[in-house]
Structure 1
Amino acid sequence: MSDSNLEEIFIKRSQQKKKTSPLNYKERLFVLSEHKICYFDYDPEKKKKKALKGSVDLEKIKCVETVIPDENAPAERQFPFQIIYDEGPLYVFAKSDDIRKKWIHRIRQVVRFNKDLMQKYHPCFWEDGVWKCCQQVVKQAMGCRVMETRNGGFKQTLRKSRKPLPPTPEEEKPCRPLPPQPPPQQGPCPGSTVIAEYPYTPVQPQDLELRKDEEYTILEMSDPNWWRARDKYGTEGYIPSNYVTEAMNGLERFDWYCKNMNRSQAEHLLKTENKDGGFLVRDSSKAGKYTVSVFSKVGGETVGICKHYNICTTPQGQFYLAQSHNFNSIPDLINYHQHNSAGLVSRLKHIMSNRADSAPSPFGLGYGVWEIDPTHLTFIKELGCGQFGVVKYGKWQGQHDVAIKMIKEGSMSEDDFIEEAKVMMKLRHQKLVQLYGVCTKQKPIYIVTEFLSNGCLLTYLRESLKNPTPIHLLEMCKDVSEGMAYLESEQFIHRDLAARNCLVAANGTIKVTDFGLSRYVLDDEYTSSAGTKFPVRWSPPEVLLYSKFSSKSDIWAYGVLMWEIYTMGKMPYDRLNNSEIVDKVSTGLRLYRPQLANERVYSIMSICWRDKAEDRPTFLELVSNVQDLLYEMQ
């Protein structure tokens, strides 16, 4: 037997039968070889293996981990471990913890270069149609515990060869793999050179004009959102930090790179341009990875198709789309495929970019702007009437689109809000609607925010969105989870998360708005759970019964918002009144699975609706779950 092989008698649990019984546990001889784990029927009297009963290809293994034994498990089933591969979990019971550790360690060594190794796993058994650890009812549901880094831990790297690997010394600690592109950066610092990705027209006397693709020197970075810079003519002023990128660093300098674009937006752009061989490069749904999206009119057809290719890396850090064509950088890869299709549906003929139209919203209306002069606002049309009064679309200084909330007197605790708004101005994320400033020196006071042309998400779902794909709906959920994860990281609670409090940008991006405003409502019907205006349908039991708000109550509301997205804007619990909802939700009622949501999507909703707040995930975990599912779907 070679040094990489192991043999051991284990008890194996049946993978097929739903109910567990003594007949489901049988002794098998397990053999770990160069390419497989095989298990055989075993004759204990003659001490030799008999018929092969099954095998697992090593290259298909995604995870090997311990399992928490059942409370009443007999002595021979006290040391279980699991081998997760394409067909699900294979449960094996060792005779001792030392034997279990030895096998787990050796298998991890051999498979540590596998593709798609899991980052999360289920620590308890799948039994009788449910995961005992988290009560999810989908066997393929995302794990509920994050993998730990330990000796023999996984390394997410590609490897072509299955030759035996040299043993890893016990004291060696594996390193966490870094994303291959872009490389770790510290970002610009005072004195460094940046390039303007987008043009910027000054709106304040102290601002500096940005001209696309020109270089600027950073002078001061005391405000993370507005940097003081100097252009090549010696002029100095403040620039929005999200309009520039470090010179000669990353992909931002290439027109084919569309930052922050998702799959649905890429397909819309490519199909609108309708050019055979039109392409772009975008961020993949998995952090640190990139995707090439290509439009092709196969066979000269009028209606084309979009194809999406993940950019892969070799163990040596080279990039490829077709395995036999490897390159040292992504720009080199793109340049090659602009001249050779090499396995793609088409060579990359035409750069498709929306960068001229997709400049991000600057963080405010200029450096230091807080109190806005109402005479600088022009009101153009009414957008609707919200909790606090009329909302209008307008212009600031005649050129910048803004939304203006005109706060009706008596609807808000204005002094408290004005103090808090200074904090809210500092909450800045691409998936949050940006608060630009306030007008407080007259009545009514105004709240001035970023304007999003497609309006309220709830109305968009009900009236504008036609025949969405499953990926499109999940991307909408991803946008909201990213914005909420940022609020969570800032220890800021929304308190009224729902589709009505999200807005839709021109490119389809969803942004969260009105975060924290519910604290300043003076309406008794709104602030009491017994009232008709209180968001009962989005509230967990601890809010309904005890008015206990937390980031975990926002998690519950996020699950309901996902349900709204997948029902195209239906009213949650539409056949129940508020008092019935309080009674039934507090005793276990949950929303049904929408027709457009598969079991995996519904399992994400369901973990948001766990009875105990502490059992619900964080938004950071939800972002990871949604990203992983999106990556699998693409």
Structure 2
Amino acid sequence: MPDSILEEIFIKRSQQKKKTSPLNFKERLFVLTHDKISYYDYDAEKGKRKSLKGYVDTEKIKCVEIVLPEDSAPPDRLYPFQIIYDEGPLYVFAKSDQIRKHWINELKNVVQSNKDLMQKYHPCFWEDGIWKCCQQEMKQAMGCRVLETKNGGFFKRGSKNRDSRKPLPPTPEEEKPPRPLPPQPPMLTPGFSVGMTVVAEYEYVPMTPHDLELRKDEEYTLLEINDPNWFKASDKYGNEGYIPSNYIAQALNGLEKYDWYCKNINRSQAENLLKTENKDGGFLVRDSGRFTGKYTVSVFTKAGGETVGSCRHYNICVTAEGQFYLAEKHNFSSIPELINYHQHNAAGLVSRLKYIVSNRAQSAPCTAGLGYGSWEIDPHQLTFIRELGNGQFGVVKYGKWQGRHDVAIKMVKEGSMSEDDFIEEAKFMMKLCHKNLVQLYGVCTKQRPIYIVTEYLANGCLLNYLRDVLQHPSSILLLEMCKDVSEGMSYLEDNQYIHRDLAARNCLVDSNGTIKVTDFGLSRYVLDDEYTSSVGSKFPVRWSPPEVLLYCKFSSKSDIWAFGVLMWEVYTLGRMPYDRWNNTEIVEKITAGHRLYRPQLANDKVYSIMNSCWHERPDERPTFNDLVMTIKDLLFNM
């Protein structure tokens, strides 16, 4: 047998030679020699090679490239690559990016002298009779992306592999490996377990027969935790059903039962609440904007005879012995004891804590769907009230579900969307549930046009809010807007979900001023050629990095670039990026290294965050988690 160059156990995807043939994924032992790449059945327990299952002659290989992983791919299928030969693509999944790079490089060395090497390839999978990247239905269709090196992506040692004058983004082989992903889906809700006693923070009226009613401040026992958004629970009367996981808290926490504790409220929102109340000594306790599990006391004061008043913020500190304090020498074993003391004694604060200011009357958070297991909505239960605008897919209206729940309804005009693909994806999109994402409630697919039903946000589009509503905003408010977006995007990043069209126009503002990201992932289903092509006039060129403009290579790092542009929109109060250039000029300028200027309202530290998002190399850009921490640190020190 010829000497092997490499041997490795990979997951191999079935060829799916017919549209109707089911996909399967099996572990195979792959062996690369100079003549063939062969794959064998393998006995993992004995560590022995078994029967030959197939092979590809290396002289027939036309291209070797990575494949973009599926959205929400499992951990063992995050690093796919493809070997293209006469019969089509052979899809292989490596265990790590390093192993994938090693095999791709060795394969390219082996086949670099082959004839008929491809100049274009398909960056996404062939599946169910269609190329997922370009929607072509012929398996032998020419690739839709130009290879980033000459001679079909293969090059001889010692030769230059690029002669373009434009600065190109790195090839996938050059990029640093991504950080390892957690072994389980990040969507799972931490801190809860079966048998735990929890307290309802909000009232919940059952929406389906499977649901259980929640009464605020009453206790419930968790019975099942199989869905991150809906737990099965029982009440004290023995009734069982599903409850929204974001409506409850652990009974042991203790702070939720106090009116002065305002959960999920930021510094600007706290100040607005306190100033609206306008009482000297008004106070509330909120989560720290910097550290999880830490708390801040916000106090309103008219000290010195002020007529307008101002707010002071005090971080609750903890001693080495676990005692809580605001002022040294006044230590307490719990936060409620600390608050009780300062309600009677200023003890170093600008004022004693005289009046509780609470946001408890505010509405409950959104649920992931309108009831457990419900994603298909009966259109007869929708009432249309007024038109909100016209979007990429059609008219958007404000309405009611069952006459009592506010919703936004996108009425999808026929021919604007790949409807079947979206409907299949909608089941997953509904499970994405975060305070800084606009919640998808469900869809109406039994009639045409189909409806997409989402959370309704009273203050509308962020872009219009910046241009028309904000008057002399503080630097803290602008940065907190950016923090809201970064936290929503960090959640998408953790769940391996790419937005592809992040911009101020695709964010909405709720009645409290919280920013929420919307329309994540929807651009994949647009059928408008001008929108889906990077040369089209409708394509979001002004928010796109070089690798998207040149190669349509989307990733969480292209979302990072767009976030930097969104920050620029926020700090210019809604100006159009590169407003003096057309799309062609923008592509030329961006690929030549030009970047947006520093807005007048942004200091050097804020502008440095924007600039970090605009590195030419994707692997040099931060993650959204990095951005969240950087922005929180900056807010903490303001």
Q: What TM-score, normalized by structure 1, do the two folds share?
A: 0.70
Match of 2:62 in 1: none
1:365-444, aligned counterparts within 5 Å?
Answer: 365-444=370-449
**3-state SS of paired residue (1:621):** helix
| Partner SS state of residue 589, structure 1 | coil
- Contact 2:229 2:431 (8 Å CA) reproduced: no
2:592 to 577, 587, 591: 587
Residue 554 of structure 1 aligns to a residue whose secondary structure is helix
From 315, 327, 341, the counterpart of 1:336: 341
Would the aligned equivalents of 1:198 and 1:356 in 2 still touch at CA under 8 Å? no
1:301, 1:623 → 2: CA distance? 35
Provide, for residues 156-194 of structure 1, a one-character-per-residue CA deviation record: whole Å limited to 9, x for no partner.
Answer: xxxxxxxxxxxxxxxxxxxxxxxxxxxxx9733222221
Matches within 5 A, 1:206-285: 206-285=210-289
Helix, strand or coil for the counterpart of 2:246? helix
Pick which of 361-370 and 261-270 moved more: 361-370
- Alignment partners' CA distance in 1, 2:257 and 2:406: 27
Are 1:406 and 1:445, in contact at CA under 8 Å, matched by a contact in 2?
Answer: yes
Superposition deviation, residue 227 in structure 1: 1.6
- Residue of structure 2 equivalent to 1:10: none
Q: Tell me whether 1:293 sits opposite 2:307 in the alignment.
A: no
Deviation at 1:356, TM superposition (A): 2.0
- Paired with 2:530 and 2:455, the residues of 1 have a C-alpha distance of 29
Q: How many residues align?
A: 449
Query: Which segment drifts farther, 560-569 or 308-317?
Result: 308-317
Please report how far the alpha carbon of residue 345 of structure 1 lies from its aligned counterpart in structure 2 after TM superposition. Answer: 1.1
Q: Which amino acid aligns with 2:414?
A: E
Partner of 2:359: 354
Is the 1:229–1:237 contact (alpha carbons within 8 Å) kept by the matching residues of 2? yes
Q: Return the offset for 1:251.
A: 2.1
Equivalent position amino acid for 1:415 in 2:
D
Aligned residue in 2 for 1:194: 198
**One-letter identity of the residue aligned with 1:440:** T
Instruction: Report deviation, 1:505.
Output: 0.9
Corresponding position of 1:49: none
Once residues 574 and 235 of structure 1 are traced to their aligned partners in structure 2, the CA distance between those partners, rounded to angstroms, is 60
Which residue of structure 1 lines up, in the alignment, with residue 604 of structure 2? Answer: 599
- Give distance in 2, aligned partners of 1:604 and 1:296: 34
Pairwise CA distance, 1:205: 2.2
8 A contact 2:442–2:454 mirrored in 1: yes
SS in 1 for 2:399: strand
- Give the letter aligned to residue 413 of structure 1: S
Q: CA deviation at 1:300?
A: 4.7
SS for the counterpart of 1:252 is helix
One-letter code aligned to 2:468: E
**1:367 corresponds to which letter in structure 2?**
Y
Distance in 2, matches of 1:557 and 1:225, equals 29
In structure 2, give the amino acid aligned to 1:266: A
Which residue of structure 2 aligns with residue 453 of structure 1? 458
Q: CA deviation at 1:364?
A: 1.5
Whether contact under 8 Å (2:367, 2:433) holds in the other structure is no
Report the more deviating stretch, 604-613 or 312-321.
Answer: 312-321
How far does the alpha carbon of each residue in 1:464-516 deviate from its partner, in whole angstroms, 9 at most, with x for none? 11111101100000011111111111111100000000011111111111000
Kindly indicate whether the alpha-carbon contact (under 8 Å) linking 1:454 and 1:504 is maintained by their aligned counterparts in 2. yes
Show structure 1 runs of 5+ residues with no match. 1-184
SS at match of 2:257: coil
Amino acid at match of 1:598: N
Instruction: Give 3-state SS (helix, strand or coil) of 1:344's partner.
Output: coil
For residues 187 and 545 of structure 1, what CA distance do their matches in structure 2 show?
A: 44
Name the structure 2 match of 1:99. Answer: none
Q: Which residue identity does 2:532 align to in structure 1?
A: T
- Kindly state the Cα deviation for residue 530 of structure 1 after the two structures are TM-superposed: 1.7
**Distance change in 2, residues 1:594/1:186 (3 Å):** closer
Aligned pairs for 1:18-33 (under 5 A) are none
Q: Which contiguous aligned blocks of 4+ residues in structure 1 show a shift greater than 4 angstroms? A: none
CA contact (8 A) 1:371 1:440 kept: yes
What is aligned with 1:462? 467
Give, in whole Å, the separation in 1 of the partners of 2:194 and 2:607: 48
Q: Which runs of 5+ in 2 are unaligned?
A: 1-188
Helix, strand or coil for the counterpart of 2:226? strand
Q: Give me the whole-angstrom Cα distance separating, in 1, the residues matched to 2:320 and 2:476.
A: 30
1:116-195 map, 5 Å: 187-195=191-199
SS in 1 for 2:243: strand
Q: Compute the displacement of 1:621 (Å).
A: 0.7
Q: In structure 2, give the amino acid aligned to 1:195.
A: V
2:528 to 516, 520, 523: 523
Deviation of the 1:224 alpha carbon = 2.0
Whether the aligned pair in 1 keeps the contact of 2:368 and 2:432 (CA below 8 Å) is no
- The residue type paired with residue 449 of structure 2 is P
Q: Contact (CA 8 Å) 1:279, 1:350: kept in 2 or not?
A: yes
Residue of structure 2 in register with 1:546 after alignment: 551
Q: Distance in 2 between matches of 1:235 and 1:343?
A: 50
Write the deviation string for residues 390-446 of structure 1: whole angstroms up to 9, x where unpaired: 001111011111110000011001011111111111111111111111000100000
Pairwise CA RMSD of aligned residues? 1.3
Determine if contact 2:214/2:243 at 8 Å carries over to the other structure: yes
Kindly provide the amino acid, as one letter, of the partner of residue 589 in structure 2. K
